[in-house]
Structure 1
C-alpha cells in the first residue's frame, strides 16, 4: 500500500512537471502587472527576534535544520539534504516576521534582498517551492508584510514583487483544491484569497477562494470546534488562517460569510480547551507547545467569547479540571487517512498539569517529522498511555501517516459534585493481539486526588495468548521522580515545591529515562514512571493513584 502510494506520488509529480515546468506554461502565467495593491490586510502576529538575528547573520534554521549562505553569499534555496519541512518554511516566508521583530533599516534591507534573491532564482514553477500550500503561505506573507519590506522600496523592486504575486496567484487558482486537504488546503485558500482580493484585477480568484472555503469549513471544523486533524498545533494554525481570511475580507470590503464567523466562534473555545496553565498547548498527534504569546494573540484577534469546553466529543478529547489540576485526555480515533500525516499512536493518552506547571506529558514531536524521529516519538510508548507487547496501537509510518489503527474508540463521562469520571476504550489491539484497552480516569472535586485504572481485556469470545503491557507516565523535565515505599510508589517533586505521590498496584513500578520534545529542536532528558504487568485469558488491571502530599508542620 505504501509503495503504491509512493508510485502514484511520483507519477503525479512527473505529470505536474510536464504540465507546469515548461517555458510555455510560464508564458501563460503572464498578464497585466499591478502597479500597487488594492488593499493591505493587517498582520498582527508576533515574530521571533532571535530567529531574525540569526537570519541577519546568514543562518536559516527551520524544521530542525540549519542552512547557511551558499557559495555566492546568498541563501541556498534548494540545499542538498534539506527536509521538505525546511524547504516549505524557507519558501513560505513566515520568517519575514522574525526580521520585522528585529526592526530597523538593516532588517528591512535584508528582507528586500532575500525577496529579490528569491525572484532571481525561483521565478518559474518547481514541485516543492511552488507546491500549493507553500505558495499560498508565500503570497499571504508577501502581501500581509508589504508595509514592512515593500512599501518604501523603489518602483523597480515593487513592480517585480507585484508581477510575481500576480503570476503565483494565477497558478494557485489553477491547482487549488486539487488533492489538497486539511490545514494545507486552508493555507492555499488563504493565499488565493490574499492574491484575489488584494491584487487589482484578480477578484474572480478571490471569490473562488471564498466559495471553496465555504464548502470546506463544515468538513474541517467539527461541531465542537475542533479541527479535523486532531492536532492542537493545527487547531492554532487553522484558527489563525480563518482570522486572517476574515481580515482580508473586511479590508477589501467584502461581506464576511456567516460560516466563516461561526467557524471562528467555535474554534476559539476549542483552542482554549488544549491550553495548559503555562499558556502552551497539549502534545497530541504531533503538536508542539507553541509560543504562548502567539496563542494569546490568536485568541485575542479571534474576538470570540466562550470558555474552554469540558468535552470535545466530535474531535475526541476530554478535559477534567478541578482546583489547580488539569487533565487532558485523547479519547478519539486517529484522524482519517490523508489527514494523518503528523498523527501519533497515542490513543487514550493523557497529560496533567497543576497550575502553571506540567507534570505528566507526552514526549512531543521533532521538527523533522520523519524517519527515526517519527518512529520514536509517534510510537505509543512515547505517550502517557498503555502499550501492549511493545506494539503501537496504530501502525506508525516513518514517512508520515498511520496504517492499521483503532476502528472504534468509545468514551463516557460522568460528573458529580465537581468530580469527573471518564471511561474510554479502544480496539487498536483487537486484531493483532485479541485485547481491548479500557482506561478509567477520575479527578476529585478538590483537584488533589487523581485516580485511574488501565485494563487489558480479552475481546469477547477470544482466548488470546498472555502478553506483557506497560502503563507509562512520562514526566516533564522539571519534575523530579524518586522511588519510595520499597518500589510501591514514586514521589514527584514539582518545580514550585509541591509534591505528589504516584502509587500503583497490579504491576511492577520503575522509573526510567525518557525524552521531551515539546519545544525546540533538541530533546530534553527526563523520566518516566512505568508500571509493567501481564495480560492473560482474564482481564488484567493496573490501578494507579496520584495524590498531592500534605506538608507536615
Structure 2
C-alpha cells in the first residue's frame, strides 16, 4: 500500500525537484557546446605511477570480452563484432558500468599481448565516440571511476603502444580530469562527490602536473572525508556498501602517495583507520554483510582482501552509535540491528524503510534476513519496481503498520523509473537507543518515530541475546506519539515479519510456533507468546542470484488488541 504524501512531504518534494533542476541547468551552462574551450588546455606530459587495483580480477572473463560478451548487473550482452559502445538494447545501468571501465582488470589479469591490444582498441573506440560532454559516459561518478580505472590499468594499455596512442590517451585523460575539477562542486552530495575527490587525488599523484593541483586535490579530499566518514567509521549515508567501495580506493591511494615519497595526511589515515573495524562490525557469521540501506550482495573476495590490510585485527566493535547500528554476539550467534534515523536527505538515495529491522546468523548460516537491495539507478522499469519493493518496510524483518512503510518515498511519476532513484521524503527523525548488558543477556532497546506523521504512533523494539547464545528474544511495542499505551479502540493493523534465508526450511508446528531447520542440521524454534503466527512465502533479491523464493514468519493483529508482542528464537540443537 502506498503512503499518502503529507503537506510537508510535498514541500520537500518540491524543494528536491527545484534543486535538481537548478543543478542540471548549472551543469548545462558550464558544459554546453559553446563553452567546450573550458576543457581545453595543456596535456599532462606523462604518468608517474600506476596505482594498484585491489579488486578481484578473473582472467577467464577476458575470454568473454575477446568474444564480445559483456556482463554487468545481471545483463549479458553479445556485441557480435560491433563496438560495445554502439549497443542500444541494454539498460542504462549496463552502459554506465561499461563506460566506467572497471572491467579492464580482467584483461590485465590475462597478461598477454592480445589483452593489451584489446584494451587499446576499446579505449581508442571510447575516445573517438565520446568527445562531446554528454550522456551517461560523462556522468560525474562514471567519469571518476573511469579515470581511476585508466590510471590503475595504464600499464596494460601503454606497454608496447605507439607514441600516437600515448598522446591520444593522455589528452583524453587530462580532459576528463579537467572536467572533474570543474564538476566537483556540482557532483551529487555523498558518495558520488567523494568519488570525484578520490579520482582527482589519484590524478594529482599519478600524473605530472603543477604542485597546486596536488595541494588542491588533497584539500578537497580531506574536506569530503571529514564531512562523510563518521566518528565510528561508518559512512554518512548509512550504507554499509560505501565502506567497501571507499576502502578499495583509499588503500591503494595511500600506497600511491607513499610510493611518491609523500607522507599521507592525517585525515586520510584517520578515515581509513576508523573504517577498517567497521568491516568486521557488519559481517555476519558467513562473512556476508548485513543487508541494510543499500547493501546487497557482499563481494566476499574483496572484503577478505581489505581485511588483510587490517593490522589491528581483533573483535569487531558492538555499538556503532553514529552509524545507527547495533551488534549482538554470543557463542556462534550474531545479530545486527538497524537503529538509525534518516541521514541528511542529500545522501539518503539508497536508504531503506527498515528501521529496527535485524539480521541473524548462527555459525556460517544466516537465519533471519532482510530481502536485500537492487540497483535502482538507471535500471529497467521492472528492475526499478522490484528495487522499490526491496526498500519498503515489508521487505525487512521488522514491524509495519497497515502495510505502510516507516519512510515515504517519491512516487514513480516524480522519479522516472528509467533514470532516477526514488528519494526518501520523510521517515524516522529520532531513534532513541540504549544498550543494556546484564549477567544473563545483552539487550538493545530502541524506539523510532517513523509512524508519527501518518498514525501518531511510535514503534519500540527490545532485542536480547542470551550470553550462552541459546535465546534471541524480542518485544515489539506500539506506543502513542507521547509514548503512552495504545487504546483498545485503535483499529490499525500491525504486521511483524521475520524473513528467513532461502536455505532455511521452516515448518509451522502450532498456532504460535515454527520449527526452523538449517542445512547444517541445526534447529531452532520460533515462538510468539501472545499472538498467532503464520508461515508465508517471500523472496530475496540479489544482483548475482536473481530473485530467490524463501519463507517468512508473519505476526499480524489489531493494535487495539495487541500493542505488545513477545517472541523468541530458541536453539534446539
Question: TM-score normalised by the shorter chain: which range applies?
Answer: over 0.9
Q: Does 1:59 align with 2:69?
A: yes
What is the Cα deviation at residue 276 of structure 1? 1.4
| Deviation, structure 1 residue 314 | 0.8
Query: What's the CA shift for 1:532?
Result: 1.0
| Structure-1-length-normalised TM-score | 0.93
Q: 1:480 aligns with which of 505, 511, 515?
A: 505
Matched, 1:387 2:400: yes
2:160 is equivalent to residue 142 of structure 1: no
Instruction: Give the corresponding residue for 2:418.
Output: none
How many Å apart are 1:287 and its aligned residue?
0.5
Q: CA deviation at 1:356?
A: 1.0
**Structure 1 residue aligned with 2:24, among 6, 13, 22?**
13
Residues 1:376 and 2:386 are matched in the alignment: no
Answer yes or no: is the 8 Å Cα contact 1:435–1:456 preserved in 2: yes
Equivalent residue for 1:466?
Answer: 491
Is the contact between residue 345 and residue 396 of structure 1 (CA under 8 Å) also seen in structure 2? no
Native 8 Å contact 2:398 2:497 kept in 1? yes
The answer for the alignment partner of 1:309 in structure 2 is 317
Among 432, 435, 439, which residue is 1:410 paired with? 432
Contact 1:282 1:289 in 2 (8 A): no
Structure 2 portions without partners, runs of 5+: 1-11, 413-420
Structure 1 equivalent of residue 139 of structure 2:
131
Give the number of aligned pairs: 545
RMSD: 2.3
Which residue of the partner structure matches residue 437 of structure 1? 459
- 2: CA distance, partners of 1:448 / 1:106: 57
Quick one: structure 1 residues 303 and 168, their matched pair in 2 at CA, closer, same or farther if it must change by over 3 Å?
A: farther
Cα distance in 1 for residues equivalent to 2:51 and 2:42: 22
CA separation in 2, counterparts of 1:517 and 1:150? 40
CA contact (8 A) 2:541 2:548 kept: yes
Q: Could you tell me how far apart the structure 1 residues matched to 2:178 and 2:270 are?
A: 29
For the residue of structure 2 that corresponds to 1:126, the secondary structure is coil
Q: Is the CA contact 1:384–1:471 (under 8 Å) kept in the aligned structure 2?
A: yes
Provide the residue aligned with 2:8 in structure 1.
Answer: none
Structure 1, 6-15 or 272-281: larger mean CA deviation: 6-15
Q: Matches of 1:510 and 1:442 in 2, distance apart?
A: 23
1:516 corresponds to which residue? Answer: 540
Q: 1:327 aligns with which of 324, 332, 335?
A: 335
* Deviations 1:292-326, CA, capped at 9 Å, x for gaps: 11001122235454531111011110000000000
Alpha-carbon contact 2:512-2:531 (below 8 Å) kept: no
Q: Is residue 96 of structure 2 the alignment partner of residue 100 of structure 1?
A: no
- SS, match of residue 545 in structure 1: strand
- Looking at structure 2, the residues matched to 449 and 183 of structure 1 have their Cα atoms a distance apart, in angstroms, of 38
More moved, 108-117 vs 368-377:
368-377
Unpaired segments ≥5 residues, structure 1 = none
Alignment of 1:191-202 (within 5 A): 191-202=199-210
* Residue among 60, 69, 73 paired with 2:82: 73
Q: For residue 495 of structure 1, what is the aligned residue in structure 2? A: 519
SS at match of 2:493: strand
Instruction: State the distance in 2 between where 1:63 and 1:109 align.
Output: 26
- Residues 254 and 424 (structure 1), Cα distance of their counterparts in 2 relative to 1, 3 Å cut: same
2 CA distance for matches of 1:48 and 1:455?
49
Q: Distance in 2 between matches of 1:26 and 1:471?
A: 56
Q: Residue in 1 aligned with 2:571?
A: 548
C-alpha distance after superposition, 1:259-314 (max 9, x if no partner): 11111111100121001122221100021132111001122235454531111011
Give the structure 2 partner of residue 218 of structure 1.
226
Shift of residue 166 of structure 1?
Answer: 1.1
Cα-to-partner distance string for 1:225-270 (whole Å, 9 max, x where unaligned): 1111111111211222322331232122222111111111111001
1:193–1:248 contact (8 Å) kept in structure 2: no
Q: Name the counterpart of 1:82.
A: 91
**CA–CA separation in structure 2 for the residues paired with 1:303 and 1:180:** 33
- Offset at residue 49 of structure 1 (A): 4.6
1:62 Cα deviation (Å)? Answer: 2.1
- Matching residue within 97, 119, 123 for 1:115: 123
**1:221/1:41 CA distance change after superposition, 3 Å:** same
Q: Secondary structure at the match of 1:501?
A: strand
Map Cα deviations across residues 308-352 of structure 1 (whole Å, 9 max, x no partner): 111101111000000000000001112220111111000000000
Return the alpha-carbon distance in structure 2 between the equivalents of residues 121 and 180 of structure 1.
Answer: 26
Q: 1:214 to 1:18 in 2, by over 3 A?
A: closer
User: Does residue 1:180 correspond to 2:203, yes or no?
Assistant: no
Q: How far apart, CA to CA, are the structure 1 residues paired with 2:37 and 2:310?
A: 41
SS of the counterpart of 2:535? strand
Who is 2:281 aligned against? 273
Q: Tell me, yes or no, if the aligned pair for 1:269 and 1:308 is still in contact at 8 Å.
A: yes
Tell me whether 291-300 or 312-321 shows the greater mean CA deviation: 291-300
Aligned pair 1:353/2:361, yes or no?
yes
TM-score (norm 2): 0.90
Deviation for aligned residue 1:147: 1.9
CA distance in 1, matches of 2:366, 2:69: 32
What is the Cα deviation at residue 176 of structure 1? 1.2
